[in-house]
Amino acid sequence: MISAQDFCDILADRGFTTASGVPCSHFGGPIAHLSTQPGRYVPAPNEGSALAVAAGAALSGQRAYVMLQNSGLGNLINPLTSLVMTYQLPILTFASLRGWPDPATDEPQHAVMGPSTHRLLDSVGSPHYTLHAEDTTDRFTELLDSAQKDLDAQQAPFVLVERGAIGKAAVHEAAPPWGVASSTAIRVVTDSCPEASVIATTGYTGRDVFAVADRPGNFYMQGSMGHASSLGLGVALAHPERTVVVLDGDGAVLMHLGALSMIGHEGPANLIHVVLDNQSHESTGGQATTSATTSFSAAALAAGYRSAVDCDSEDSLRNAVLKAMAASGPHLISVRTLPRTGAIPPRATNALTPQAIRDRFQQDLNGS
Ligand SMILES: Cc1ncc(C[n+]2csc(CCOP(=O)(O)OP(=O)(O)O)c2C)c(N)n1
């Protein structure tokens, strides 16, 4: 393992002074370390944006690197192939290796991408190297020397990072947290609409929902970050008689913010979109999102939602949900939530297969 500080310092010594990315727990250390120094890390909403930020830096003669989870390669592949490779912009990307080498030891949403990551990069012709958990700083330096040859040849190499290859660092809290505990917020929402279909976003939210309010009408969307509201829209349009509640995260909403416009445009009367806004990617270690400077309620109203409110207490949240149930949507409710404390409950897929989650959701939706 190399320390987070060594990782950042070795790259900085080579002129890579800035970075962008979307967190994976594998990069919690470097992101925390860089985030203590203004201007060194740009928190991107999705992996494609992170790569494009680095591309802009490269175009301007700077050296920037990108850090992401391999599940985010799907978001990155378009700007990789059509921007970075087409214009031959030399960019160094670090991608984690979730679901690899043995997908059975990771969550089900990594089972396809884990074993495919190396082949995916091979298929688009991207050079790649692997940083293993036992590798030292000497090995890291050797690997960067190899990647440098690719960069000199105007290529965009990848370093694939195994779990435990880079150390952790303490996350700096920007401001004292305030709001409602997320498990309380979830219980308030689900108790207020017991008949609704509930779509839970990826990460800790799905785990909390499974722990405090499991029911067949819940769909635990592990992975596919940022798509819970689009999935909810599909269900809401197909079942206008059913209230559909999406429990989303701030990082997830930001990842595909355009979904707000689609939902506003389609205008499903039966959709309630709840954003649990803790201003962080808590599930990957608490890295800050950019939600402190974005108003989800203002964005939703501007995108055509029928109503949008901000809540910061249990009572205001309960009132907002009851009001939304009584009027035509789509509605957005943004609730400020606190960092979780104590043990995080197990994932739904520890108890149910993804297929079982699908089947019971469908049966509930069809009333059988
Ligand atoms: C495309 C993609 N990129 C990155 C990840 C890794 N990831 C899983 S959960 C998560 C954080 C989600 O943040 P937020 O929606 O704010 O919810 P919170 O974790 O704070 O509950 C991230 C970055 C992922 N699953 N998919």
- Minimal-distance CA residue to ligand 1 atom 13: 281
- Those residues whose C-beta lies under 8 Å from the C-beta of residue 158, and which sit 6 or more positions away, are 93, 94, 95, 121, 126, 127, 128, 129
Residue minimizing CA distance to atom 12 of ligand 1: 281
Find out whether the beta carbon of 249 lies less than 6 Å from any atom of ligand 1.
yes
Which string of DSSP letters, residue by residue, matches 17-66?
A: EEEEE---GGGHHHHHHHHTSTTSEEE-SSHHHHHHHHHHHHHTT-EEEE
User: Tokens in use for 218?
Assistant: 């819940």
Distance 225 CA to ligand 1 centre (A): 6
Structural domains of the chain, ranges and CATH numbers in brackets: 4-161 (3.40.50.970), 182-365 (3.40.50.970)
Pick from 259, 337, 253, 332: nearest CA to 290? 253
CA of 338 to the centre of ligand 1 (A): 16
Pocket test for ligand 1, best of 47, 225, 253 (most atoms within 8 A of CB): 225
Q: Identify the residue whose C-alpha is closest to ligand 1 atom 16.
A: 251
Tens-binned pLDDT, residue by residue, of the chain (368 aa) = 999 999 999 999 999 988 999 999 999 999 999 999 999 999 999 999 999 999 999 999 999 999 999 999 999 999 999 999 999 999 999 999 999 999 999 999 999 999 999 999 999 999 999 999 999 999 999 999 999 999 999 999 999 999 999 999 988 777 778 999 999 999 999 999 999 999 999 999 999 999 999 999 999 999 999 999 999 999 999 999 999 999 999 999 999 999 999 999 999 999 999 999 999 999 999 999 999 999 999 999 999 999 999 999 999 999 999 999 999 999 999 999 999 999 999 999 999 999 999 999 999 999 96
Q: Ligand 1 in contact with 69 (CB < 6 A)?
A: yes
